[in-house]
């Protein structure tokens, strides 16, 4: 969406909807869930899920091509640095904080690749009473484009960090 509408810096004002599955990176509940010492826990929550989210939109910035994603972050089937599509130099990314709830838990963290909407079911699977399944599940995203500055998610030898610079 950002590439299609030439949004290089923006604010993800709100995402509201439901998901069938959500991958979230969060702080671990206990030390036994640490992934390779990275101090993060990656969880896969299955739905039906109600979600709400907000975040920022920027551009990936890797000025030194010798810098590569740390092994602990590059795991879990993620591309590049794994954070909202940050794949490399001058690629768009979204840093999204999401709250996900199902019938037994509520989880808050960073939205990761591998999160999916509910598919539209076959006609014989449509709920006869509610009509649920007649249309794809809803998911609304509100974005505001920001002008005059560029938000970069920089990956260099110092680490990975956000940097706001004049456009």
Q: Is the pLDDT of residue 135 over 90?
A: no
The dihedral through the CA atoms of 45, 49, 50, 54 has a sign that is positive
pLDDT tens profile 88-119: 788 888 889 999 999 999 999 988 888 888 77
Q: Is the pLDDT of residue 67 over 90?
A: no
| Interatomic CA distance for residues 59 and 88, integer angstroms | 9
The answer to whether the beta carbons of residues 103 and 18 sit under 8 Å apart is no
Q: Is the pLDDT of residue 72 over 60?
A: no
């Amino acid at each position: 969406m950002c590439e299609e509408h030439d949004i290089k810096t923006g604010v993800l004002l709100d995402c509201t909807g439901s998901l069938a599955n959500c991958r979230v990176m969060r702080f671990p509940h206990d030390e036994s869930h640490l992934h390779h010492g990275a101090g993060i826990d990656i969880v896969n929550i299955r739905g039906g899920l109600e979600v709400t989210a907000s975040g920022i939109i920027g551009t990936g910035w890797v000025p030194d091509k010798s810098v590569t994603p740390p092994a602990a972050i590059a795991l879990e089937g993620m591309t590049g640095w794994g954070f909202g599509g940050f794949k490399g130099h001058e690629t768009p990314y979204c840093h999204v904080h999401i709250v996900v709830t199902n019938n037994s838990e509520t989880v808050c963290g960073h939205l990761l690749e591998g999160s999916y909407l509910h598919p539209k079911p076959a006609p014989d699977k449509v709920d006869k009473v509610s009509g649920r399944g007649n249309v794809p599940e809803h998911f609304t995203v509100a974005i505001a484009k920001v002008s005059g500055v560029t938000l970069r998610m920089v990956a260099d030898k110092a680490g990975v960090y956000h940097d706001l610079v004049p456009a």
